[in-house]
Amino acid sequence: VSPVTHALTGWLIAQPLHKRSERVAVTCAAVIADLDGLSLLGGVDAYHKWHHTFGHNVFFAFAVSIGIGVYFRSLKSGLLGLVAFHSHILEDMLGSGAGWGVPYFWPASERIYSTPQPFQWELDSWQNLAFTAIFLIATLWLGLKKRRTIVEVFSEKADLKVVTALGERFKKSA
Ligand SMILES: [Zn+2]
C-alpha cells in the first residue's frame, strides 16, 4: 500500500489529539514500518530480503508506540500510535497483492500472516484506490470542519493556505 494512503490513515486516526506535534508523530507511526522498504536502495534483492521484516512487526510497533507515549507523556498518543501502526499492517495485508503477507512476529518467527482471499488486493487495485479516495475526502472534510488537513504534517503555514483555499472554494460552490 502506498505511503500516501498509510499517512492519510494515520492522520485520520490522530484526530482526537489536540497537539499538532502529537498528530504528526501518530501519522509517522502509520508510515514508519516502510523503513524496511528503503532496502530497495540496496537493490531489488535486498528489497525482497528485507521488505516486510524489521519494520513490519509487533515488536517495532510497541517500540514506536511506547516511544511516542513516553515522549509526549501521553497514554492517548501512545495508544493512537499503536492503532496507527497496526493500520499499516492491516492495509499491507489487504492491499499489497497476493503473496505479500506480514511476518508479524519477526524476528522471533518467520511465519507470514495474510488476510484470506478475496481480501488480498493488488497495489493498483480499485479497492486501494477507493480507500485512498475515501480517506482523502475525509481529510478535506476535516479541512472544512476543523480547519486542518494532513498538510500540517509538513508545514502549519502551508496547511493554513490549504484550509483557507478550501473554505473559499466551498463558499463559492455553496
Ligand atoms: Zn508497509
Average pLDDT, the chain: 95
Per-residue pLDDT for 172 more than 90? no
Q: What is the pLDDT of residue 38?
A: 93
∠ CA(154), CA(134), CA(68), 5° rounding?
40
What's the pTM value of the predicted model, to 2 decimals?
A: 0.94
Query: How close is the Cα of 123 to the center of ligand 1, in Å?
Result: 11
Per-residue pLDDT for 174 more than 70? no
Query: Distance between CA atoms of 19 and 33, rounded to whole angstroms?
Result: 23
Query: How close is the Cα of 89 to the center of ligand 1, in Å?
Result: 7
Q: What is the pLDDT of residue 169?
A: 87
Residues with CB under 5 A from ligand 1 (ion): 33-34, 92
pLDDT band at residue 97 using 50, 70 and 90 as cut-offs: confident
All three cell numbers of 133:
479516495
Mean local confidence (pLDDT), 47-69: 96
Query: Distance between CA atoms of 97 and 170, rounded to whole angstroms?
Result: 37
CB 123 within 8 A of CB 1: yes
Per-residue pLDDT for 99 more than 90? no
Per-residue pLDDT for 152 more than 80? yes
Query: How close is the Cα of 162 to the center of ligand 1, in Å?
Result: 28
Contacts of residue 158, Cβ cutoff 8 Å, sequence gap at least 6: 151
